[in-house]
Every structure is written in C-alpha cells, then in structure tokens.
Structure 1
C-alpha cells in the first residue's frame, strides 16, 4: 500500500493512551480498533476487520509455537513452585550462607539456574537475602538494586530457556516481515544482544555496588526494613507464596527441570542443524531454534510430570499447578495477539512506506540514540518492557531500513529502551515484586533506583552515538 499518514494514527493513539492510563493492553487494543476502522470505516466492518486480523495472527504456525512455549514454560515454573523446588533452593542456600560476600556471590552464581524470568529470580534470591540482611550489611534499597541488576538486565541477554526469548524473537519477526525481509529473527536477536547497552551497563553497576561500594551507614528512609524487625522476624516464609512453610523442601525439583530444558534446547538446536548437513557451529545458526525450544520444553514438562508423580505428588495437583502457572502468562499471550494484529493492520495501511517517505531527514548517527531515549521514556511511563518492545520494534526496524543503519544495532536499542523501564519504573512488575518481598516502599525504592538508572541511560546513549559513527 502506498505511503499514507493514516498509518501512523494507531501509534499516535497507542503511545499517549498507554502513558496516560499506565496500561499497555487497553492502549494497544484501542490502536488496533482505530486501525481496523481506518481500513474498514463501517460500524460492523471495523469490528470484523479487527477480528479477522487477530485470528489470522493466532493461526500463524510460528505464532502458535510462541504461545505454546510461553504457556508451557510458565506452567513448568508453576509446577516447580508447587512441588517445593523454589522453597527447597532457598532453604538449602540460606543454611550455607554466613557472610556478606557469600550472599552476594550466591546472588550472582544462582543466575545460572534461575534465569527463567525476573519474578523467578526474585522469589529464589530475595527471600534468602532478606533472611540474611544483618549479615549482608547493606541497606535494603541497595540489596534490592543488586538483586534487580541480576534479573531483567541479565535475562534479556540470555538466548535460551527464558520466558523472554519467545516474545523477543516474535517481535523481531513481526517487524522484519512487515518490511518484506526474509531474515531469521532468532539470528537477528542473537546479533542484537551485544548492542543492548543499557542492560550491560546496569550489570556492571550492580557488580560495582556489590563488591566495591560500601555504604557507611544505614538509611533512615521509610523504605528501610528496621534491623530490629529483621532480627525478630526469623520466619521469612511469608514474603512470597513460593517459599511458604506449607510447601515441601525439594531443591532438585527446581534444578533438574532447568538443567534439562537448557540441555535439551541446546542439543535439539544442534541436532536440527546437524541433520541438515551443517557443521557443529553452523548447525546452531542454521537450525530452527524456535522448534527446538518448544520441543525441548515439552519433553522437559513430560519428564517433570513423571518425576513429580514418582515423588507421590497428586496428578490433579500437578495439573492445577501447571495450569495456574500457565495462566499467569495469559495476559502476555493476549498482549502478543493484539500486537500481532496491530502490526499487520499498520503495515496494510502503509506504515513502512510512510516511514520511508518521511524520515529520511533524520541524521543516520541519531537513529539508535533517539530510539533508545524515546523508548526509555515510553517504557518508564508505562512500566512495561514487553509493551515498549511491541510498540517500538516496527518503528525501529523501519527507521533502520530507511537510514541503512545496522539492524542488530537498532533492535538492541529497542530492547535496551524497554529494559530501562522494567528496571526503573515504579509501575514495573520488577519494582513492585522486589519491593513487596523486601518490605520496601515502592515509590521510595523506585526513586532510589532512578539516579543510577539515569546514569546508565546517559552512558548508554553515549555508547549508541559512538557506535553509530563506527557503523
């Protein structure tokens, strides 16, 4: 379709509505509805068009694979919680930690086994640190900051076995297909990882605060847990349902499924490339990675079911745990469905052509920095990395194609911008979850994090400017 200013109207609706309401899904739905009526401006036609676009998105084979992966992964985490895997890990780790250095080393080392999602990280590490707060000798705000730098900033850089991978690859696929590009979205995701500068800078800051910065005195801010309270509150099991006293203590119920899903994903990825006749390293590049991830996960779920049944957990309880876990991501699956439909509608309205025709005046060196700064502002006000990625990735890829800027660089900038909001926004799930577990005031804690986050954002912007001159 030829370039039309109408194609940007859905985005002009989505962004301000999301910022004003602090809700991503209603804003995206409204943008989808507006786009549908622009294509079919009749009372019934607009609704029918919206329905058709969403259904077409949902029946796409790759999209179905992503939905299955997200639901099954979250369902597996639900079973791990229910069978005492998380509580068992926390209990055993807390028994062995005696010093601040040991506790902080555990925080970083445990990332190897608990990088499934930010919430997963928080419910395995934060209760340990809360129980050991006196030994750790840090303010709770500093403690929360250190834990968070090992969550989203790390997880968005990991290319396998996380709740983020399927969504991130899907967003790239949407944007590249709208541009008519036949590029493997997973390969683009891998190439974009080194350019997610914000996440990398935040990890470095976290390491500095953990091992090289020492607070001289405890904070008197209202967000601070009182030391006397910590001493008296020997029972930390109430800070999150996943570490409740009512659950069994079985750390292997966490470790074995995670090791299995990672190993199977890597093996099946290599195997898919191997049977196509590629060498060892090239096999990983040429393989159908999404297929390998889904199949590896489904095998892990089945083996985990068998393992838990052998431990005499009831089948009905396991099924309930799996469904409860999977249902926690239904809002994300719904979000994806709307993003898929909105992307297709704006493409049919001529969004790509409009970007080509009207953005050539932007200096090439400013593309990545502008995308990051704009996306960081959006993500801060809506508090959602995933929502930001869904809104901005089509725009970022279109600008990259028009300006002939490196696609992995721009994709990395989009992911970095969403990571900023997930880390720093008082509306983000990360901020609210860690504040609840550690007993912090959400707004005071978010205010504490904002300064280092802005410093990291400024460094990130400078890095994008520098890299743009190199590329």
Structure 2
C-alpha cells in the first residue's frame, strides 16, 4: 500500500489526548474516530466505518478467544474471592510468619501461586505484610516497593496462566499481521521475555532491598504507628477480598490455581503432541491460546463443582463469576478499540509510511528510543496495557524497517509499559498497594521514582548495547 502521511494522524491524536486526560480509552477512541473519518469522510460514513472496524475486530476467531479468556479468568478470580480463598490464604500465612526473613521469603515464594494479575498479588500478600509490619522492620514505603517488584515486573515475564498473556500475544499478533510478518505471535512473546530489561532490573533491585539493605529511617505511615494495638487487625478492611465476613478457606485459592496451571501445561503439550512433535518441541508448536482458554474453562467448571460441594449457593457463585468478569470489561473494551485502531491505520498505509520515512533512524537507537518514548507515555497515562496497544504497531514497524531483532523491540515495548505500571502515580498498581498499606500515594510515588529511574536508565543502556552487538 502507498505510504500516506494521513495514517499517522490517529496516533498524533491518541498520545496527546491520553496524556492530557490521563485516560487511555478516550485517546484511543478519538484516534479511531479520526481515522474512520479519514477513511470515510462523510458525516455518517465515519461513524459507520468506526463501527465496522470494531465489529470486524471483535468477531475475529482469535480475538474472541482472547475476550473469553480475559472474562473467564477474571470471573474465576471473582469466585475465589467470594468463597474466601484469598482471605484463607492470608490468614493461614499470617499465623506462620514470625520474622522479617520469613515474611520476605513468603513474598517471593508466593508468586508461584499468585501470579495471575498484579491486583491478585497485592490482595494476597500486602494484607499479610500489613499485619506483620513491625516484625518485618522495614519502612512501609520500602515494603510497598518490594511487594510491587513481585507483581507486574514478574507477571509480564510469565508465559502461561496470567491475565496478561492473552493481551500481550494479541498485541503482537496485530502488529505483525499489519507488517505481513508470518510468525507465531506466542513464540515471539516467549523470545521477547529476556529483553524486558526494566522488569528484570527492577526485580533485582527488589531482591537487594529485601535481603541486603537495611533502612535507617522509620516509616510514619499509619500502619506502623506505635499507638496501633488492637486496631492492627483492621488490615481486614484494607480490601474486600480479605473482609472479615468472608470464610477462611485457603484451598479455594490453591486448588483453582493448581488446576489452571496443570491443565494449561498438559493441554499445550497435548496439542503439540497431536501434531506429531516431541516433548519439548510440542510446547513450542502448540496452539497455546486454545490450550489456555480450554484449560481455563475446565478449571472454572471444576472449581464451581468444588465450591458447590462446600454448600456455596449456585446463585452466589454465578454472581461472583459475573462480578469478577465485569471487572475486566473496561480492558476488553480497550482491547476492542485497539484492534479497530490498528486495522484502520494499517488500511490507511501506516506501515508503508514508517518504511518510507523512518529509515534514517540509526539501527542502534531504535530499541532504546522505543523504550524511552514508551516509558514517558506510560508514566503520564499510568497504563501498561494502553501503552502496549499504542506503541506495539510502531515498534514492530520500526524493527522491520531498521532490520532490528523483533524480540528485542517487542521486549522494549513491554518494558516501557511496565515502567508506567510501576512508577506512575496514575497506575492501578501504585494506588492499590498504597491503599492497602495505608500510604500517601504522592509520598509513595516520590519514594519509588528514584529506583524506577535507575532501572530505566540501566535498561536504556542495555538496549543500546544489545542492539550494537546483534
């Protein structure tokens, strides 16, 4: 398709609007609307074009699978919460933890079973730490930082059974299809994981702060004030998932997690095995998205039966599932608009424009520039997912033009979004952990901005070095 400068106008609308409003969805929606009117410049035609692009994106078979996966995953978490799975885990763990080292080891080890989503990590770990804050002997800001390093930075590196995987693979698929790159998006995601330098460096900083650094100052956060005695049990009020009225049933958390991970791994292997591949090759050649969706649906059904046997009411379970699923509807809407925007900019000739007018950018600057630009966007909009949706088509296009490794650039895009999720005062991660630990959001953001910028600077250098080497 002929290069058309009009194809960049939707992106020139998306980024400033998202930054100005501090909301991703309005920017994406206006970008889609502008692109639609460029495509069909008439009063009714633009609206019809926008509607058509969104509908076509939603009815795509792979996109439907991703929507089902996201909704069902969030619905499963909703059932786990209302059946007392999270509260049960928190109560039992808090009873056994006696020292700082035990508490910090639990923070890291528990990632094995609670890596579904950042919020899920926070509501299973932060209440425990809040209850044991004096034993941990860290400032509350440091504790929040350590907990956050075990959330998004780790979750974006895990290739199965998380709320992120389906979205991340979908974003890669959109960008590569627009460039006519015939490659398995899941394989590209796997290859990009080692290049998410910001997440990796942040995890290392978290480990250092946990086990090798001792704070010399005392926190003034309300959870660590001396006058807190009997009221310390008020950590039950820090999040609805650990409320006192919920039952204490840790197996209602552990069993679904074991099932979804086990079935995902088995069905992934089975799909590759059915295609005639050996054990390890089977995992690479399998249709992972299909395996994850089917594994999740089986887990939802078996978990519901397990809860019914405990005499939870079917009506309550369905309500919990729907409430949980609806929590992710904003993400599904976001994803639908991203799909539509990507399709319309592709039809307007965005890929051809990038190829025609960006070949002057030195190869070694592409990955670090993408990371720095994306980190700035994600900081101001506070959304990793929004940043990925905006930036991935541009990143893949630049990588294709400049002959830069696709996994490297994709890793840089994911790293840039991770920066915003971690460091931005607008991110859900920041606000959730601050609320649970009783911190001032602004003070907490100021505390963690320095280590976040250090990790970002190290990441930028690493992208420059790796691009130069390869």
How high is the TM-score relative to the length of structure 2? 0.99
Q: Hey, what does 2:281 align to over in structure 1?
A: 282
Contact kept? 1:139, 1:224, Cα under 8 Å: no
For residue 419 of structure 1, what is the aligned residue in structure 2?
418
Q: Do the aligned partners of 2:223 and 2:232 also contact (CA within 8 Å) in 1?
A: no
SS of the equivalent of 1:214 reads coil
Q: Answer yes or no: is 1:377 the counterpart of 2:376.
A: yes
Pairwise CA distance, 1:297: 0.3
User: Which whole-Å CA distance do the structure 2 matches of 1:30 and 1:230 have between them?
Assistant: 49
In the alignment, the residues of structure 1 paired with residue 228 and residue 59 of structure 2 have an alpha-carbon distance, to the nearest angstrom, of: 52
1:263 corresponds to 2:262: yes
What residue number does 2:138 align with?
138
Q: Could you tell me which residue of structure 1 aligns to residue 229 of structure 2?
A: 231
Q: Counterpart in 2 of 1:302?
A: 301
Q: Partner of 2:213 in structure 1? A: 213
Q: Secondary structure at the match of 1:427?
A: coil
1:233 to partner: Cα distance = 2.0
SS at match of 1:217: coil
How far apart are residue 219 of structure 1 and its match?
3.5
Output the CA distance in 1 between the equivalents of 2:180 and 2:460.
Answer: 29
Deviation at 1:226, TM superposition (A): 3.9
CA contact (8 A) 1:179 1:398 kept: yes
Are 2:4 and 1:4 equivalent residues in the alignment? yes
Preserved CA contact (<8 Å) 2:82 2:320: yes
Query: Contact 1:82/1:321 (CA < 8 Å) preserved in 2?
Result: yes
Equivalences for 1:70-85 in 2 at 5 Å?
70-85=70-85
**Distance between the aligned counterparts of 1:24 and 1:167, measured in 2?**
16
Kept after mapping to 2: 8 A contact 1:133/1:230: no
CA contact (8 A) 1:202 1:453 kept: yes
Query: Are 2:171 and 1:171 equivalent residues in the alignment?
Result: yes
The aligned counterpart of 2:341 is 342
Q: Is the 8 A contact 1:36 1:46 kept in 2?
A: yes
In the TM superposition, what whole-angstrom CA distance separates every residue of 1:421-465 from its partner, at most 9, and x where no partner exists? Answer: 000000000000000000000111011110000000000001001
TM-aligned CA deviation for residue 181 of structure 1: 1.2
Equivalent in the alignment of 1:250:
249
Q: Following the alignment from structure 1 to structure 2, what is the Cα–Cα distance between the partners of residues 129 and 231?
A: 16
Whether the aligned pair in 1 keeps the contact of 2:75 and 2:320 (CA below 8 Å) is yes
Matched, 1:323 2:322: yes
Q: 1:4, 1:279 → 2: CA distance?
A: 47
Is 2:447 the partner of 1:438? no
Cα distance between partner residues in 1 of 2:239 and 2:349: 48
Q: State the match for 2:108 in structure 1.
A: 108
Match of 2:183 in 1: 183
State the partner residue of 2:98.
Answer: 98
Alpha-carbon shift at residue 107 of structure 1 (Å): 0.3
Secondary structure of the residue that 1:356 maps to in structure 2?
helix
| CA shift for structure 1 position 166 | 0.3
1:155, 1:164 within 8 Å by CA — same for their partners in 2?
yes
The C-alpha deviation readout for 1:375-425, integer Å capped at 9, x for no partner, is 000000000000000000000000000001000000000000000000000
| CA distance in 1 between partners of 2:229 and 2:27 (Å) | 46
In the other structure, the counterpart of 2:87 is 87
- Cα offset for 1:229? 4.5
TM-score, length-scaled by structure 1: 0.99
Asked whether the equivalents of residues 140 and 224 of structure 2 are also in contact (C-alpha less than 8 Å), the reply is no
* Residue of structure 2 in register with 1:69 after alignment: 69
**1 CA distance for matches of 2:33 and 2:102?**
53
Whole-angstrom distance in 2 between the partners of 1:151 and 1:377: 21
Contact 1:134 1:227 in 2 (8 A): no
Matched residue, 2:49? 49
Deviation at 1:217, TM superposition (A): 2.3
By how many angstroms is 1:156 displaced? 0.1
Q: How many residues align?
A: 469
Deviations along 1:62-99, whole A, 9 cap, x unmatched? 00000000000000000000000000000000000000
Q: Residues of 1 paired with 2:231 and 2:177: CA distance?
A: 54
Structure 2: distance between partners of 1:290 and 1:226:
45
Paired with 1:276 and 1:365, the residues of 2 have a C-alpha distance of 40
Corresponding position of 2:118: 118
Q: Secondary structure at the match of 1:162?
A: coil
Spell out, residue by residue over 1:324-366, the C-alpha distance to the aligned partner (whole angstroms, 9 max, x if none): 0000000000000000000000000000000000000000000
Q: Distance in 2 between matches of 1:217 and 1:200?
A: 27
Which moved further from structure 2: 177-186 or 385-394?
177-186
- Answer whether contact 1:32 1:345 (CA < 8 A) is retained: yes
Q: In the superposition, relative to structure 1, how do residues 336 and 229 fare at CA in structure 2: closer, same or farther (>3 Å)?
A: farther
Counterpart of 1:367 in structure 2 is: 366
- Asked whether the equivalents of residues 140 and 224 of structure 1 are also in contact (C-alpha less than 8 Å), the reply is no
